[in-house]
Chains A and B, each alone.
Chain A
Amino acid sequence: MITGSECVNKTDEQIVVLTLKNQDYYLFLMKRYEAKLLNYILKISNISREDAEDILQEVFIKAYQNLNNFDLNFKFSNWIYSIAHNTTISAFRKKKVRPQTVSWEDKDLNNILESTLEAENRSLQKLTYKQILKIINQLPLKYKDVLILKFIEGKDYREISDILRKPMGTIATLINRAKKSLKQELKKEDIKLKKL
């Protein structure tokens, strides 16, 4: 019987090697990413928690089946986020999931707003939490995706590039465009409300 304490000081990559010898180690790897990935799936897809949990199970199984394809020179976290991203997108395309409004934590919204708006514009006081969320959710997926990875998941450009499998230059462009687009939408909405 493997205990959790055995894996506490081990890196993800070390646990991958152990999992290939004994599948029980995989449990500890999954536990490390369970909450993070579920949040990520929920945020990029706007789906119900139930559907997101189904996708997450699929992600873990896919990752397990492809464990021998994981390159130890890469970060496991980027690799599994990439699988989560692709699985979520394909579930969406297959229309296996039902879009819903997902609640975000205030700090997540603040992170995005702070990184998008200049100090003088940050006080979009007329906008409620719900309105801001609606605007973020209406952004094209490619923009929402990079904003979430950069400002909520705290990934750097190289990591986002590995997750979305796009060159770093493209990631930088996407982030800039996403910020610009969000800023415009927020201002538009704010002006609309001020006029009322």
Chain B
Amino acid sequence: MTSTKEADRQLDAQLLVRIASGDEVAFGALYDRFSPGLYSFILKMVRDEKEAEDVLQEGFAHIWRRASTYDPARSSAFTWAVMILRNKAIDRLRVRQRIERTMEKATVEFSHFAEADEVSAGEAERREDGALVRSALKEIPEEQKQAVELAFFGGLTHEQIAEKLGAPLGTIKARIRRGLLKLRDFLKEAA
């Protein structure tokens, strides 16, 4: 890991320690650091700006209440926050019974986002992490990438992905496993 990233991780972890003690300034600072990335990601999941705002609000309220449970040995603060907000988004998707519609539209939606990504590529490439992960995804076979993205952004279970793609469950598990391992290897190598 680069020293800049390590310093960032330490700073984020420090902010969470301070948030756990009720420090509003630290909370505002963490919001400023994380909210652009988290909002973009949640919007990609729920595909509705109002809903993305609600998820962001719920997620940050959760971070405020549960900052003391963050364990830096387990993950970076950003990863911890991503997983909190992703769970909130999945809850909403499920509660509102959007999963089926999401499954039906997933192919179209993901191709749409691929186009949007191209449009915003110039901006994204200025963000080191985004550019890095994009590069990694290009190295991953399309079928593995599709399965990983459906699981992560679509919030679909492996069984739902298998059904949607018409592939055996074991095949989907293998694609996701291989895709994630390759992504992990690429990111480790880049770090």
The yes or no verdict on A and B being binding partners is no
Show the binding face of A for B, using Cβ within 8 Å.
Answer: none
